[in-house]
């Protein structure tokens, strides 16, 4: 923009325009500035148009271009500033309408424990009065702890790469498929002191991994809580009494429990444990698939081979073990239809789950 053809006072005013525009703190001040620069009468723009009328013919073209450039710059600047001030005025009006000086200030949002962690803590609290303590193990495991020490044979499908996440083929390193490797580690660690301790009992909560497709009831990562007790003369009656107590503590004193024979390589005999569906009371619904019962965990007496692998004499010691899926239990307790909701971090869902326990 050529300012050499513009009168000195107008050129000086143009140089001060940006500062004057920024200093316009409200719409009234902006309107005054607009009248000063581009108003119809007495403005810098009106004076320039008068100058154009009296300018020599040979200067009119260049002078007209300079005048148009100045006017466009002023009008665009004024328009942009007006948008800013109108938006600020609207925000201030909104805040003023919502603010009540008599009300206490709003409290900042606070975080809370995830519902799955709360449920695992609740399961631990159920067993603490029975003398159980918590043990943990690594999520990266060896085949020895994940399979061999649990009496799982070489040809078992769970050992295949279609079901298990291996780090490398034939590496022997994997992501644990259940929390049962913690049983092997704890038994081996405490075997030399088992006489001194008079037995072993513990819970093992944690994350596990399997090659499952993600759908409303499956996930490649989920949580389990396992428990084990080893002592003298432990039998199925001890297991049934312990789990019946635990299910009633978890689902209420009226909870009905049943045991069905089942097979697991690391227990003998083995059982599936069901509870009467707490959602329909046994009448039949979508959650229990019309049966009136919901499978809640697997259990059984510890296989002698598992004890022998850890260095414990199965002729002197016996025990039981059990394990449950945390997500399945959480879905049933909270009546949540889709497992994926627990992993999507939707704040509305997590807030609603505040009443899970």
Structure tokens at 187: 């038994």
pLDDT value for 12:
67
Pairing state between β 133-134 and 200-209:
parallel
Predicted pLDDT of residue 356 = 45
For position 270, what pLDDT does the model report? 95
Q: What is residue 36's predicted lDDT score, i.e. its pLDDT?
A: 79
The CATH code for residues 115-355 is 3.30.930.10
From the first residue on, what is the mean pLDDT of each consecutive set of 10 residues in the chain (357 residues)?
58 73 82 78 71 72 74 83 86 71 76 87 93 95 94 88 85 92 96 95 95 85 95 96 92 90 95 86 75 90 96 96 91 79 83 62
pLDDT of residue 11: 66
Q: Which sequence spans correspond to the domains of the chain?
A: 8-98, 115-355
When computed from its CA atoms, the radius of gyration of the chain, rounded to whole angstroms, is 38
Burial 145-162 (b: 16+ CB within 10 A, else e): bbbbbbbbeeeeebbeee
Pick left, alpha or beta for residue 70 (phi over 0 → left; psi -120 to 50 → alpha; otherwise beta): alpha
Q: What is the pLDDT of residue 355?
A: 45
CA distance 173 to 170: 8
């Amino acid at each position: 923009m050529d300012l050499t053809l513009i009168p000195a006072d107008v050129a000086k005013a143009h140089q001060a325009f940006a500062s004057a525009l920024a200093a316009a703190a409200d719409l009234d001040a902006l309107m005054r500035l607009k009248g000063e620069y581009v108003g119809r009468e007495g403005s810098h723009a009106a004076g320039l148009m008068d100058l154009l009328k009296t300018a020599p013919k040979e200067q009119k073209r260049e002078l007209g271009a300079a005048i148009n450039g100045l006017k466009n710059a002023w009008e665009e600047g004024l328009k942009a500033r007006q948008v800013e001030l109108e938006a600020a005025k609207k925000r201030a009006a909104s805040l003023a309408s919502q603010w009540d000086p008599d009300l206490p200030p709003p409290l900042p949002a606070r975080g809370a424990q995830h519902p799955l962690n709360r449920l695992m803590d609740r399961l631990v609290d159920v067993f603490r009065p029975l003398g159980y303590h918590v043990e943990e193990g690594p999520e990266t495991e060896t085949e020895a702890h994940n399979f061999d020490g649990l009496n799982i044979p070489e040809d078992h499908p769970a050992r295949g790469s279609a079901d298990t996440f291996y780090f490398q083929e034939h590496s022997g390193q994997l992501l644990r498929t259940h929390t049962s490797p913690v049983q092997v580690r704890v038994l081996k660690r405490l075997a030399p002191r088992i006489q001194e301790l008079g037995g072993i009992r513990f819970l093992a909560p944690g994350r596990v991994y399997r090659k499952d497709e993600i759908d409303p009831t499956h996930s490649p990562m989920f949580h389990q809580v396992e428990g084990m007790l080893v002592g003298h003369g432990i039998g199925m009656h001890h297991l049934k009494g312990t789990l019946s107590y635990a299910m009633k503590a978890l689902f209420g004193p009226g909870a009905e429990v049943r045991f069905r024979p089942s097979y697991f390589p690391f227990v003998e005999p083995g059982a599936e444990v069901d509870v009467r569906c707490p959602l329909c009371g046994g009448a039949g619904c979508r959650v229990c698939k019309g049966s009136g019962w919901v499978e809640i965990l697997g259990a059984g007496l510890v296989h002698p081979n598992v004890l022998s692998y850890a260095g414990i004499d199965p002729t002197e010691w016996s025990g039981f073990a059990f394990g449950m899926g945390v997500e399945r239990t959480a879905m049933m307790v909270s009546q949540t239809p889709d497992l994926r909701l627990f992993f999507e971090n939707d704040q509305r869902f997590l807030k609603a789950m505040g009443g899970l326990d």
